[in-house]
Every structure is written in C-alpha cells, then in structure tokens.
Structure 1
Amino acid sequence: MDNRYAHLLASDNVSGVHPEVMTKLAEVNRGHVPGYGADAVTAAALQQFRAVFGDHSETLLLFNGTAANVLALKGMLHSHEALFCAEEAHLQVDECGAPEHYIGCKLIPVPAMRGKLTLARIEQLVAADLDVVHRSQPRVISLAQATERGAVYSLEELRAIGAFARQRGLLLHMDGARLANAAQALGVGFAEIVEGFDVLSFGGTKNGLMMAEAVVVLNPALRGAYPYIRKQGMQLASKQRFLAAQFLAYFENDLWRRNAGNANAMAQQLASGLDSLDEVTLSAPVEINMVFAQVPTDWLGAVQQLTPCLVWPGDAFSEIRLVTSFDTRAEDIDHFVRELGRLSAGG
C-alpha cells in the first residue's frame, strides 16, 4: 500500500506543512537580509512572542524539539542537580539520554497516571533528597502539557504544582510540544497555561510548522545565558527569518488554534467511531489529538496496513496509539473506522 500521500494516524509529526506557513516562507524568500536573527522578520516574530507571553519573556528560535527541551534545561540546572519528570516523559524515554549527556544532570522519573505528575508524589521525592549531600539536589520539575499519554493538566493542577515549586525554591519547566492542543482543549491561551513557570519549550512542528520550535524564558532572572546556550548547542540559525516566518504565520489569524482545533476534533470523531466497535475499547478519555485504544492482537497486521502506529503488544488484546493532525479529514477517520468495522465483522 502506497501511503506517501495518505493522511496517516501514526503521529502529528508525519503531516505536512500548513499552506499558510508555506506562503509566509515564500514571502520572506526574497533578497538578502542580515543573518543570525538580525532581520525584520525575526524581530516581528519575537515581538509576537512578547505579545503572547509578556514583555518580561525572551524567546529563542530553534530547529527541533529535542534541542528545545535540552537547551531549556541547560539554563536551569547544574550537573549535581536533579530534574523530576513523569516516567513516560519524552525527556526520559525518547531523547536518547540527551539531557544527561549534554547537561550531566540526573533525571528522576516519577510514576504518573497518563503522564501527569501528582503533587503528593513530587513532595515525597523532593523531601527524600533535599539537602542530602549523597544525592542529586532537586532543582527542576518538568511537566508535559499535554502529556505523552494525551492527558491535559487543568489550570488548578498547574497552579498547585507551581505553588509547591516556589515554596521549595524549585524551577518549573514545561514541555509544550503539544501545548496548542492543550490550550484548545482548555479553551484558554498560552499565557494562562504557563503562568508561574520559568521556562517553556514551545512546539510548532506537531501543529503545522515545518521545523520550528522555541525556548521561551519566562523568568527574567534566567535570561542572560540563553543566547550563548543556544549557540553552543548548535541551534542558532544563520537564515533565521525562515524559522521566524513560520511563527508569524502560526500566530496570524489564530492559525495555531485552528490547526489544534481540527486535530482535536478529528480525535474525538475517531474515538466515537472506535467506541462503536464491540472489539475495541478506548484506554482513556480523549482530551487532545491522541487516541489510545485496545484492539484484538490479531488485528495488528491489518491496522498497520491502514496506518503505521505505536503498539504496546499484548496477548489477546494490544494497545495502539493513533494521532490526528491539523489536516486530518473526516473522510480519513470514516475510512479507518469502516475498515476496522470490516475486521469486526470477520471480513
């Protein structure tokens, strides 16, 4: 099956680039301008970030999410300090040890429900290590909003963890690879979600951009080192206008919200369709653009023919992860559910 141009459900990383982003890239692809961010397009994009996150913030544009996470943390802790994150966190599972290698810090994975850290568990771990010379000292709590298991922290949950962090002198980092989907689900803007946080890894690639991410430094006391951290981290783009242009398109006419809204809505439609099949069970409520479901293990070959997807194999049943994108169409969902329905009917 030739899936080169199909609308797959493997990940929001497999989708293309939104046409409005491509148009903006073409608009700035004219003439010669100063490099390394000293251009009008970058200045306009950074002003837009300040309009969203406040004049106290500083934004640095980067190429990819791993760099956004690792360089964000590089400015937050030393090698003798520790970071607490969910055991399913991208930092812990899917960064190939980049934080430990590049920073030298210790990551402490915390058992979490659907990737969400609980305040009680964080309090317990921090109390066990704080001021004990034999142990890495607690410094940063990192939350993913939304989580790798598709869960969304409420504003109340975020405020409670933030209050605890300030009480204990800890810093807060947010992995915002799917922040747009979380904001759309909560019906709020970006600034409301990151209130009280120190540094944000701001994602765009999963929501219709080509290869554009950012580190947003929200704590003014941390700002000074980040331009040098970015350069040393090999993420300072010479032709930075092409990163900046993507974010200009992203913020114009609420493109980020339109993209995330479609992705989230298509996930709800997918969940409804799957829930109508007797042999399929949703693993958890669908809050953003990620659907986790239990399907008969003997369906996996057919499912993977329809779309590649992450699989957690089991005996009679296995769990799959399906992810919708800004350009997922209702007919894509209908086709997928219809094909699974044929399996359900024995066909």
Structure 2
Amino acid sequence: MISNTLQSVASDNNAGVHPRILQAMADANQADAIAYGDDPWTKALAAQFQALLGPDCRSFPVFLGTAANVLCLQAMTQPWEAVICAPSAHINRDECGAAEAVAGRKLLTTAPNPQGHGKIFPRDIEPLLGSRGFVHQVQPRVVSITQSTELGVCYSLDELRDLADFCKQHDLLLHMDGARLPNACAALGCSLKEMTADVGLDALTLGGTKNGMMFGEAVVVFRDDLAAALPFLRKQGMQLVSKMRYLSAQLLELYGTELWLENARHANAMAAMLAGRVAGVPGLEFVHPVQTNALFVRAPRPLLARLREEFFFYFWDDGASDRPVARWMTSWSTSQEAVQRFVYRLEAALQG
C-alpha cells in the first residue's frame, strides 16, 4: 500500500476527491448505461445546468480544463481568427500552446498591466483591433477572460458587463475560463447565472476538478451556433467520454446541490485565515489582493526554502531574485489545523 503524507499548499488540484463525489460515482456504477452521453445522469446534468444558468445554455462534459478551453475557442472562431487574452491567462501560459497547436488559433495578448492582477479591460483590448479587415493579419474574434484570474482576483459584475458590452459593440465573442468560477461566486456573493448568462457571456469553461471532483469540466455555451458545432468538435478533440455517466454523475453532485458553493466558500475561508495569520510576518509582502483561495507572497528565498522542506508549494515568479514570489493555495479539504501547522512552520523558519 502506498503511503502519502504530502503537506501541500501548492494547488487545489492537489486536493483529494470529496466523499460525496466518490459516492456519486459509486451510485452511478449500477447495471448498464448507454455510452457517449445518452445516459440518465448526463441528461439530468443538462437539465440542471439549464436550471442554474438559464434555458438557453447547452452543456458538454469533458475530461480536462485545457481541452474545454480549446473546444470553446475552436467553436467560437474560424482558422483565420484570433483570441485576445491577458498575458497571465491560463490558455497563454499554462496550456503548452494547446489553443494554437490543437485548435490552430492565434492568441493575442494585451499589454502587461501589473495593477490589473490578471484582469483585462476594454481599454486593453482596443489597441488589438486595428488589424481588422487587413488580409495579412489574423482577425480578432474572441476575448477570453479568467474568473477568478490566475492571480486569485475577481472581476466585478460591472466589469464583466462592461466587457460584454464592449464585445457586442465590436462584434467580438466573450469566453470565460471558469476553472475557479465557484470561488469567484463565493467571494462576490452572487449566483453562477448572475456571473455568466446575465452579464452576456457567450461561452464558459466551468470547472470541477479544482473544487472537489476526481476529473472533469463542462463546456457551456449560450449560442445555438456554438452548440451545433460542439458535439463534433468534442468527438474530434478526443473528449467524448465513452462511459460519460461517471463524469456526469460527478458534475451533477457538484452542481445539482450546493456542494460547489460549500467547497468554494471553505477554500476561500481557509485562504483568508492564512492571509490573516501571516499578514504581519516580517519580510512577507502580498503581491496581489487575497480575494479567493490563492495567496501570492514575496519573501526572502532562504525563508521560502526552509518552509518548502515541509510544505510543497510553487514559486510563481522565481528568476534570480533573492525575494521570489510563492503561490500558496487552499482547497475544499484544507483544515484549520493544516493552516495552523503551516503558520507554525513559517514562524519556525523565521527563526532560522
């Protein structure tokens, strides 16, 4: 038997699977069920998403977040069209060029804006629209944002509405990478529908893995033309799950109950607790506001090295700096005791 004693504040991906998700998979493991999504769980999930997000949405369960993003962007664009995103966007930094290599869609990044904390605004997008109509350059078609951003910060509802209005005025489509959308909803106290359909979103990657599932995300679209293309793109993109009931059962347990919100609220609360405990530690500096379940902390390298001997975490902006930035993340399974152990270890590391 493998023994795992890892103590991690590196990522919510490192957390285990919520017991209710495991039970939902076990409950789905009964008798036979028609493959490729024609099963009761997938049909119930489609109805549940329409209840949550509005009757115009269509949902497509897939294995992976990267695949969900690629499928969304592929459905929203033609081969000569481009996607505008922030430099820090997951599709730009952390998906190994999948949007460009698999979908063949050029990414156009906005100018760096450290004060935006991963957010982009109409004023950032406008300079990238000058090539429209020029046959020698790709044509901007989609704006892709992340909620909450890769730096743990949330767009307000007004900011989302402003982006959606700008996109409509300029014949652009708006995509949201919602890998941590539940955390943003929990932070802002709003519903999934208020943050997606109601602000004018065209397509959404809705997360599950980071919020207690074993695997799986959902592609959700709010336009008939996108919905018509996605069954074929999903199959061609190797994301049409044969035994889809096990994927849909997880999503149904998460989003068919309040579990998505309970898990996100807990993760956010543990991050707030950790931030409160380390806020006064000498030598530590918060690089971004702590709004969800991520802390980005600049600290002396020797201190972080000592702390990392016991708790695994990532250096976010390492380079050759003697004060690199570390990312500390909490999850649905982070306990108050785990936060306390981390703080104790940090205090010990300060003593050398």
Shorter-chain TM-score range = over 0.9
CA displacement at 1:91 relative to structure 2: 0.4
Counterpart position of 1:189? 191
Cα pair distance change 1:84/1:34, threshold 3 Å? same
Q: Distance in 2 between matches of 1:53 and 1:135?
A: 36
Residue 64 of structure 1 aligns with an amino acid whose one-letter code is L
Counterpart position of 2:218? 214
Asked whether 1:289 is paired with 2:293, we answer yes
Q: Distance in 2 between matches of 1:99 and 1:171?
A: 16
1:338 is aligned, of 319, 344, 351, to 344
Contact 1:78 1:103 in 2 (8 A): no
Tell me the alpha carbon deviations over residues 78-132 of structure 1, each in whole angstroms, 9 at most, x when there is no partner: 1211110000111001111111112212101112421100211111222x22222
Q: Distance in 2 between matches of 1:167 and 1:78?
A: 20
Asked whether 1:4 is paired with 2:7, we answer no
Counterpart position of 2:63? 63
Q: Distance in 2 between matches of 1:89 and 1:248?
A: 28
CA displacement at 1:7 relative to structure 2: 4.5
Aligned residue for 2:12, secondary structure, equals coil
Residue 198 of structure 1 aligns with an amino acid whose one-letter code is D
Aligned residue for 2:299, secondary structure, equals strand
CA displacement at 1:212 relative to structure 2: 1.2
Residue 17 of structure 1 aligns with an amino acid whose one-letter code is V
Q: Distance in 2 between matches of 1:103 and 1:20?
A: 35
Aligned length: 344
CA displacement at 1:3 relative to structure 2: 8.6
Aligned residue for 2:261, secondary structure, equals helix
Counterpart position of 1:224? 228
Asked whether 1:317 is paired with 2:323, we answer yes
CA displacement at 1:276 relative to structure 2: 2.4
1:132 is aligned, of 131, 134, 158, to 134
Q: Percent identity?
A: 42
Asked whether 1:87 is paired with 2:93, we answer no
Tell me the alpha carbon deviations over residues 210-259 of structure 1, each in whole angstroms, 9 at most, x when there is no partner: 10101001122321111000000000111110011001110243000000
Contact 2:48 2:256 in 1 (8 A): no
| TM-score normalised by length of structure 2 | 0.95
CA displacement at 1:274 relative to structure 2: 1.4
Q: Distance in 2 between matches of 1:340 and 1:24?
A: 38
Residue 52 of structure 2 aligns with an amino acid whose one-letter code is V
In the TM superposition, 1:300-315 aligns within 5 A as: 300-311=304-315, 312-313=317-318, 314-315=320-321
RMSD value, Cα:
1.4
| TM-score normalised by length of structure 1 | 0.96
Residue 274 of structure 1 aligns with an amino acid whose one-letter code is V
Asked whether 1:205 is paired with 2:227, we answer no
Aligned residue for 2:78, secondary structure, equals coil
Counterpart position of 1:19? 19
CA displacement at 1:37 relative to structure 2: 0.8
Counterpart position of 1:163? 165
Q: Distance in 1 between matches of 2:69 and 2:321?
A: 36
Q: Distance in 1 between matches of 2:222 and 2:310?
A: 43
Counterpart position of 1:257? 261
Counterpart position of 1:115? 118
Comparing 312-321 and 60-69, the one that deviates more: 312-321
Residue 279 of structure 2 aligns with an amino acid whose one-letter code is D
Q: Distance in 1 between matches of 2:174 and 2:124?
A: 16
Q: Which stretches in structure 2 are left out of the alignment for 5+ residues?
A: none
Residue 273 of structure 1 aligns with an amino acid whose one-letter code is R
CA displacement at 1:13 relative to structure 2: 0.3
Q: Distance in 1 between matches of 2:106 and 2:298?
A: 34
Aligned residue for 1:103, secondary structure, equals coil
Q: Distance in 2 between matches of 1:226 and 1:3?
A: 41
Residue 149 of structure 2 aligns with an amino acid whose one-letter code is T
Comparing 214-223 and 134-143, the one that deviates more: 214-223
Aligned residue for 2:220, secondary structure, equals strand
Q: Which runs of 4+ in 1 moved over 4 A?
A: none
Tell me the alpha carbon deviations over residues 51-82 of structure 1, each in whole angstroms, 9 at most, x when there is no partner: 11111111000001010000111101112111
Comparing 309-318 and 11-20, the one that deviates more: 309-318
Residue 137 of structure 2 aligns with an amino acid whose one-letter code is R
